[in-house]
Structure 1
């Protein structure tokens, strides 16, 4: 009887240990549901400051240094995204044709991503 109890206790201990294993820390965490209302990127709140800090030097009104257009208003920036390949130009690498800012350094990827998200969100003004 004593051997049976030791054997049973051993089996229970082994099954307890096996059932408590996990494959990674993620198995221990509650899943995070997606944000039901992600904040939309807008021109006024997000994009205007990027344009003002990085583009207005040449894309002013009137444009200077050979810039083809002004980027001083929401409508002009929206048009540049829709019709003038603004995203392709700021996404290019230095040395590639059309790279912007002309003669400058590439914008940080997070700023480029913000403008891309603005387009994805519908080019909202506010």
Structure 2
């Protein structure tokens, strides 16, 4: 009986060890989404707004999928400021900055100068006008 308890404890300890090793939070296939630093402003001498700077990027790069009806698996529309802010609240900026599998647009990462406009808009508080 004593040996049975000891064996059960060893097996339980071994299972817990294996389980803890398999429950790692890292996923090497996807780039981790890291919070943006609102103090990072690629163009501090300019106030970037949706209407003046970002809408044209959305219209040229995003609207083909993020419209009504939604296309290519897009989960939300981005036809105007309010809908684009909905996208911002759903990690749009992180996906635009990504170098991994979650990059937006799916065709490939935007040029850094375009990403900087979006980051500047973020740093300026996602202003509409």
Q: Shorter-chain-normalised TM-score: which range? A: 0.5 to 0.7
Tell me how many residue pairs correspond in the alignment.
Answer: 86
Q: 5 Å matches for 1:1-126?
A: 38-81=45-88, 83-93=89-99, 96-102=100-106, 104-126=107-129
How far apart are the structure 2 equivalents of 1:109 and 1:91? Answer: 9
Per-residue CA deviations over 1:1-48 (Å, capped at 9, x if unaligned) read xxxxxxxxxxxxxxxxxxxxxxxxxxxxxxxxxxxx932000000000
Q: Give the structure-2-normalised TM-score.
A: 0.62
CA offset at residue 65 of structure 1? 1.0
Over 2 Å off, 4+ runs:
none
Q: Which of the pair has the greater relative contact order for Cα pairs under 8 Å at 6+ separation?
A: 2
Describe the shift of the 1:54–1:73 C-alpha distance in structure 2 as closer, same or farther (beyond 3 A). same
Q: Give the whole-Å Cα distance in 2 for the aligned partners of 1:86 and 1:70.
A: 12
* Equivalent position SS for 2:65: coil
Q: d(CA) in 1 for partners of 2:69 and 2:49?
A: 25
Using the alignment, how far apart are the partners of 1:91 and 1:39 within structure 2?
Answer: 20
How far has the Cα of 1:97 moved from its partner?
Answer: 3.1
TM-score, normalised on structure 1?
A: 0.64
Q: CA RMSD for the aligned pairs?
A: 1.4
Distance 1:110 1:65 in 2: 26
Question: How far apart are residue 122 of structure 1 and its match?
Answer: 1.0
